[in-house]
Chain A
Amino acid sequence: MTTLPNSTDKKLGLVIDLDVCVGCHACVVNCKEWNTGGYGAPLADEDAYGSAPSGAWLNRIHTFEITPEDAPASIVHFPKSCLHCEDAPCVTVCPTGASYKRTDDGIVLVDEDKCIGCGLCAWACPYGAREMDPVENVMKKCTLCVDRIYNENIPEVDRVPACVRTCPAEARHFGDFSDPNSDVSRMVADRGGFDLMPEQNTKPVNKYLPPRPKSHPSDPSPSISKSDAINAKGFLGWVDRALEKL
């Protein structure tokens, strides 16, 4: 059914910390690795070793430059995967019932056997979180690694999404946002977590944590002299002066 549940028992999702993401793309690669062998059809690539490679990925890292009015520009790496929105427009537009939001945990999934590959859900998502598989011609999206988080065949420590498990900087955190005392809820409260494009009224579950404010030291850092003049004293000064005289 592509009508949305009125509420879900849990709200599973991710917190992505833009302060610590180093833009290494490890989560992107591990997401592809896990999901190409897990839920649904493999995640295909076309022309993978050619001049114009292209393929379906469920998680991508963009890099932005932010220039404050009174400080130098800074770089923010920006991981983006499905936000498992509460009012997911991608679900309601689906004509086949392939796209759905689960009532128990709020995960948004595609039943690939029902998907006709019309692409309308990708048009409805403001965040670019859905990509058509170029070989299977069905819609692909982040599954929140449903085949890991409940998987009793893997060690407990691995029962989190692949991207969360692999991030070397711990920039991605997984948890239940319906519980105000969960780690993710507290992180969002402490750090001022925010929604992407709230004006699209999608009510994303995933939250982003802003970069921590940069310090603006009042003393400018010791300036490095631009001229070649050397003011060395002692032995080095003697060498300098001796060489000068040669």
Chain B
Amino acid sequence: MHPAISVIFFTVSSGAGFGFLAMLGLGVPMPNGPLAAFIASAIAVGLAVVGLLSSTFHLGHPERAWRAFTQWRSSWLSREGVCAVVTLGLYGVYGLNWIFSDERIAWLGYLVSFGSILTVFTTAMIYAQLRTVPAWNSWMTPVCYLLFSITCGVMLVAAFGEWNRVASHSTLSIILGLLVVAWAMKIIWWRNADLSTLQARGSDTGTATGLGGIGNVKLLERPHTGENYLTREMVHKVGRKHANKLRMIALGFGAVVPILICLLQILFEMSVAFLSLAFLSLLFGLFVERWLFFAEAKHAVSLYYD
């Protein structure tokens, strides 16, 4: 599949933003005062909104995007839009109240957390629902998206909550645990994706043409000499060439560097500010991971084109 930058940015950035919102909604300890409340809210909402805005750049008609809120009964993409907007609206009330009264309304916060998790889940389901892309079509896809979103959220909340202080060992161990679990799940996802080929799902050029019973079917001529929307969008090949190297890069920045930073903090009682570095490294690792998520995925229509 074509790895569109806007969609990669959307899934990573809004995943982190909604993860942060989920933690803020749970009422985890944060510094007092309106400024801290404002900055935390701005970063969480900013990440979520920037991601959502970037996804609208992917649209042919962004001015009609409001129509995407109408079909939540059947469409995961529509559900995603509805969940995101409702959650951000709820956080608007929660965050403003927090900034101006320095108090957080617990029940509203829980709703925000629930909405954030639901939003990330619906994002993942846009991909996981597609039978046409066997690598995505698995329960593991939403699990990975959720784990990464929560890991980002916990890291951000720790970097803010213990601002100017030394990160506590318990916080650091939670982050370490999440990093290990999330990337372990991703490695299992990769393994599963490698095994979930179109062929493993029973599709090949023989079933695509229905002629497999007669003999071995092979494409002789494409319909056109040039490219078309389908070949550009779905018969994309660059990702598979360097997949293994890129997986290592994703693991290096997404897992190894943040884990080392956390371990150093446990050993040397360093300032919590270093957690921001760990977060940035994780973010970069996730961009690579998400690029691969698209670039490596093989779509059923490729059976008609190669």
The residues of A with any CB-CB pair to B shorter than 8 Å are 1-3, 18, 28, 52-57, 60-69, 71, 73, 75-76, 78, 80, 89, 91-98, 114-120, 122-128, 131-132, 134, 136-138, 194-201, 208, 210-211
Known: A123-B299, A196-B208, A198-B207. A96 touches B70 (CB 8 A): yes
Q: Is the interface of A mostly helix, strand, loop or mixed?
A: loop
Whether, in the assembled complex, B300 has its beta carbon less than 8 Å from a beta carbon of chain A, the answer is yes
The CA-CA distance from A127 to B129 in the complex, in Å, is: 17
Shortest distance from the beta carbon of A237 to any chain B beta carbon, whole Å = 45
15 sample A-B contacts, Cβ–Cβ < 8 Å, listed by A number: A1-B71, A52-B226, A67-B218, A92-B74, A93-B75, A93-B129, A95-B81, A96-B64, A96-B70, A118-B59, A122-B230, A123-B233, A196-B209, A208-B210, A210-B213
CB neighbours of A97 from chain B (8 A): 67, 70-71
Q: Are B301 and A128 in contact (CB under 8 A)?
A: yes
The answer, among B71, B73, B228, B234, for a CB contact under 8 Å with A123, is B234
CA distance A66 to B279 in the complex (A): 54
Given A56-B229, A117-B59, A126-B131, verify A195-B210 contact (CB < 8 Å). yes
Docked Cα-Cα span, A210 to B210, in Å, equals 8
On whether A131 and B229 interact (CB within 8 A), knowing A75-B220, A194-B210, the answer reads yes
Inter-chain contacts of A92 with B (CB < 8 A): 74-75
In the complex, how many residues of chain B place their beta carbon closer than 8 angstroms to a beta carbon of chain A? 59
Please, how many angstroms separate the alpha-carbon atoms of A66 and B214 in the complex? 7
A interface footprint on B21-59 (CB within 8 Å = 1, 0 otherwise): 000000000000000000000000000000000000011
Q: How far is the CA of A92 from the CA of B79 in the complex (A)?
A: 12
Q: Is the CB of A66 within 8 A of B217?
A: yes
| Interface membership of B257, Cβ < 8 A | no
Whole-angstrom CA separation of A194 from B201 in the bound complex: 19
| CB-based closest 3 A-B pairs | A117-B60, A137-B60, A68-B215
Using an 8 Å CB-CB cutoff, how does the interface string of B188-217 with A read, 1 for contact, 0 for none? 000000000000011101011111011111
B76 on interface, CB distance cutoff 8 Å: yes
Task: Collect the chain A residues with CB atoms within 8 Å of residue B132's CB.
Answer: 89, 123-126, 200
| 13 more CB-based (< 8 A) A-B contacts, given A119-B58, A127-B300, A127-B304 | A53-B226, A57-B228, A67-B216, A73-B215, A93-B74, A93-B126, A96-B67, A120-B77, A123-B1, A123-B130, A131-B230, A199-B202, A199-B207
B140: Cβ under 8 A from any A Cβ: no
Which B-chain residue is minimally distant from A68 (CB atoms)? B215
> Which listed residue (A64, A116, A127, A134) contacts B68, Cβ 8 A?
A116
CB neighbors of A among B233-253 (8 A): 233-234
CB-based contact A138/B61 at 8 Å: yes
Q: Which residue of A lies closest to B78 (CB)?
A: A95
Cβ-closest chain A residue relative to B206: A66
Distance (Å) between the CB of B126 and the closest chain A CB? Answer: 7
When the two chains form their complex, are residues B71 and A201 in contact, meaning their CB atoms are under 8 A apart?
no
- In the complex, what residues of A have CB within 8 A of residue B305's CB? 128
Contacts of B202 in A (CB 8 A): 199
If A2-B71, A95-B77 touch, whether A138 touches B60 (CB-CB below 8 Å) is: yes
User: Taking CB as reference atom, which chain B residue is nearest A114?
Assistant: B67
Looking across the interface, which residue of chain B has its beta carbon closest to that of A122? B233
Chain A residues whose C-beta falls within 8 Å of the C-beta of B215 in the assembled complex: 66-69, 71, 73
